[in-house]
Structures are given as C-alpha cells and as structure tokens.
Amino acid sequence: MSVQTILLAVLAILTVIYLIVFVLDLIKHKNDSEKGTNFIVMSVIGFVINFFDVFGIGSFATGTALMKAFKQTDDRLIPGTLNVCFCIPVAIESFLFINGVEVEPVTLASMIVAAVVGAYLGAGVVAKLPTKVIRILMGTALIVIGIVIVIQMMGLIPSSGVATGLSGIKLVIGIAANFILGALMTAGVGMYAPCLALVCLLGINPMIAFPIMMGSSAYLMPVASLKFIKEGAYNRKASLAIAIFGIFGVFIGYRFIKMLNLNALKFIIIIVMAYSAVSLFYSAYKDSKK
C-alpha cells in the first residue's frame, strides 16, 4: 500500500466521522431558525471562496470578510462555522491534489505529519506569543520571499523549481518549517501562503505545495469541527450551504489550475503572498488599536 493511499484512507475515515456527526446535528436541529442567514447568499459565497481556495488564496480570511460584509451570521459563530463548512471541500481538494500531483511520498507524508504535530504540540507555545508580532514577522517574510521569487522569474538568480520532493538537509528544513507553520495555524495565521513560499524557496515545483498544505488543513479541520458541532457553536444553515456549493467551486477551480504553466502559477503565488501579507499587517494594525 502506497504512502498516498494510507494518507487518503486516514483522511477518509476522519471525514466520514465528521460527516456523520454533522448530518446528525443538522437533523436534530432541522426546525431551528437561524435568522439573518440566507441560504442562496451563503451558497454563492461558498462557491466563490472554495474556487479561489484551490489557488491557495485561503478560505478563513475571505470567509470571515464575506460573512461580516453580508451580515450572514453572529460574529461569535464565525470561527466554528469556518471550520465546519470547509471540511468537505478541503478534503476533496486534498484527494484531488494528492492523487493528481506527483509528490515524492516521504516529502508529502513527513511534511503533513509535521504540520499536524505542530498544531497539536505547538498550540500552547504559540498561544503565549504576541499575535501582533507573529503577524508582522510573517507578513514581512512573505513580502521578502515574494521579491525573491520575482527575481528568480526574471532570471537574475538561479531557480530550479522542478523537483517533486526533498531530501537531506532540505527535507529537514521542510519538516521543521511545516511544524512551525502548523503551530502558527493555532494563532490564526493561515498555512497556504507560507507553505507556497517555503516550497518555492526549497527549489521544488510550486504545485507540490498544494497537496502538502491542503492535506495538512484537511487533517486538522475535522477534529476541530467535532468540538464546534458538539457545542453548537456554528451556523448550521451557512455551513450546509458552503459545504454543498463549495464542492462545485473546488472541482471547477481544480480544472483551471491544472491548465496553468509554471510561470503562471508562480505569478498567482506572488499575488497570494501579497494578499496574505497585507491581511497580516492589517490584522496586526487592528490588534494595536484594541
């Protein structure tokens, strides 16, 4: 049995457990009224967010912004809703990219495990760090790395970017870095943009980042969602709409991204990192105003 098969089998089990609990909770509360939530609006939001999530934009920041802009749910329910609603779309992304992108098995498995362990063990440590400082450092790092990638694309410094895996010291660096990124996820720093940047710097094909970062998120989200569902700390109508129509967004987005060449993909990665850096700086600015 291959490493990819084992990873996907474990992910399938986690996703099925989540899905059973989610559906049972929806049935139990089928008559509950969630005023202010429009199923059609949330369906459109779910499609759009998950379409761009396939390109590495990330879903939590955009999901939060759109839910607040359209006043679709109580602010206190947003964290739970984001975790619950994206479980299925992100799991599908993982299946598509792990099966559809050639990744060296040891690189894939070790970096996914590192992120999951980082999120589990690093939560306590990261929770003690000033979130504002983390965001400023990550935002600055993304800008610097983005500039390096642009210089590489201009041919001013060498860039390989074609390998399908890591070995030796690069693998050690990749595992250590993904452990840290997993821990930072507990502080609200998304993994997608930093993971894209990490892969580019280590000189492997940027597409390799997609199964790694999506696989990492897919493993973490079902576990977190079970707690939110148990406590009823999420918007059921919004979660159902996004979960259903997000699937369509993922499949259509995946068809588009598979058509891109390496330079086009790197251009998108630069945009993603710039967007993420601005978001981190803005969040740090808001923190300083509290």
Q: What is the pLDDT of residues 199-219, one digit of tens each?
A: 888 888 888 889 998 998 898
In tens, the pLDDT along 111-127 reads 999 988 888 787 666 65
Spatial separation of the C-alpha atoms in residues 181 and 116, rounded to whole Å: 9
pLDDT of 239 higher than 80: yes
CB count within 10 Å of CB 132 equals 16
- For residue 211, what are its two tokens? 């199964």
For CA atoms 181, 186, 192, 194, the dihedral sign is negative
Q: How far is CA 201 from CA 10, 95, 146, 171, in A?
A: 30, 25, 10, 12
pLDDT of residue 123: 60
In tens, the pLDDT along 53-112 reads 998 887 887 888 888 888 888 888 888 898 899 999 999 999 999 988 888 999 999 999
CB within 8 Å of 183: residues ≥ 6 apart: 118, 119, 121, 122, 123, 125, 126
pLDDT of residue 76: 83
Spatial separation of the C-alpha atoms in residues 120 and 97, rounded to whole Å: 24
Whether 120 and 176 have beta carbons less than 8 Å apart is answered as no
* Percentage above 90 pLDDT, the chain: 36
pLDDT of residue 196: 82
Of 56, 64, 58, the closest CA to residue 238 belongs to 64
pLDDT of residue 244: 97
Spatial separation of the C-alpha atoms in residues 79 and 66, rounded to whole Å: 13
pLDDT of residue 229: 93
Whether 203 and 170 have beta carbons less than 8 Å apart is answered as yes
Cα angle 195, 4, 123 (rounded to 5 degrees) comes to 45
Q: Return the exposure string of 89-112: e unless at least 16 CB atoms fall within 10 Å of the residue's CB, then b.
A: bbbbbbbbbbeebebbeebbbbbb
Spatial separation of the C-alpha atoms in residues 200 and 153, rounded to whole Å: 11
Q: How far is CA 251 from CA 77, 96, 119, 193, 247, in A?
A: 27, 9, 28, 21, 6
**β-pair partners for 204:** 163
Of 127, 78, 132, 60, the closest CA to residue 282 belongs to 132
- For residue 77, what are its two tokens? 């329910």
- For residue 123, what are its two tokens? 């939560």
Q: How far is CA 108 from CA 111, 163, 211, in A?
A: 6, 13, 8
Give 143's pLDDT tier (boundaries 50, 70, 90). Answer: confident
Q: What is the pTM of this model?
A: 0.82
pLDDT of residue 160: 55
